[in-house]
Amino acid sequence: MAALAACTALVAGCGNETAPDWAYPELGKTLRSLSRDLDEACGRTETPESCAQDLDRLTAPTERAFAQVLDHRLLDVATVAAMNALDRAREVRVAAAREARSRQDPHHLPLARAVAAEKRAYQNLLAELERLRTAPPPGDGTDPV
Question: In the chain, where are the structural domains located?
Answer: 23-134
User: For the residues 77-98, what does the mean pLDDT come to?
Assistant: 95
Given a cut of 50, whether residue 25 has pLDDT beyond it is yes
pLDDT range class, residue 136, cuts 50, 70, 90: confident
Q: Average pLDDT in the 46-56 region? A: 88
**pLDDT of the residue at 72:** 85
Percentage of the chain beyond pLDDT 70 is 79
pLDDT at residue 16 greater than cutoff 60: no
Question: Residue 90 pLDDT more than 90?
Answer: yes
Q: pLDDT confidence of 3, banded at 50, 70, 90?
A: very low
- pLDDT at position 36 is 94
Are the C-beta atoms of 89 and 118 separated by less than 8 Å?
Answer: yes
Give the count of beta carbons closer than 10 Å to the beta carbon of residue 138. 5
Rounded percentage of the chain residues whose pLDDT exceeds 90: 51
User: Per-residue pLDDT averaged across 116-121, rounded?
Assistant: 96
Neighbouring C-beta atoms of residue 88, cutoff 10 Å:
13
Q: Which one, of 48, 46, 45, 31, lies nearest residue 122 by Cα?
A: 31
Q: State the average pLDDT for the chain.
A: 82
Q: What distance in Å separates the CA atoms of residue 106 and residue 19, rounded to the nearest whole number?
A: 53
The terminus-to-terminus CA distance of the chain in angstroms comes to 20
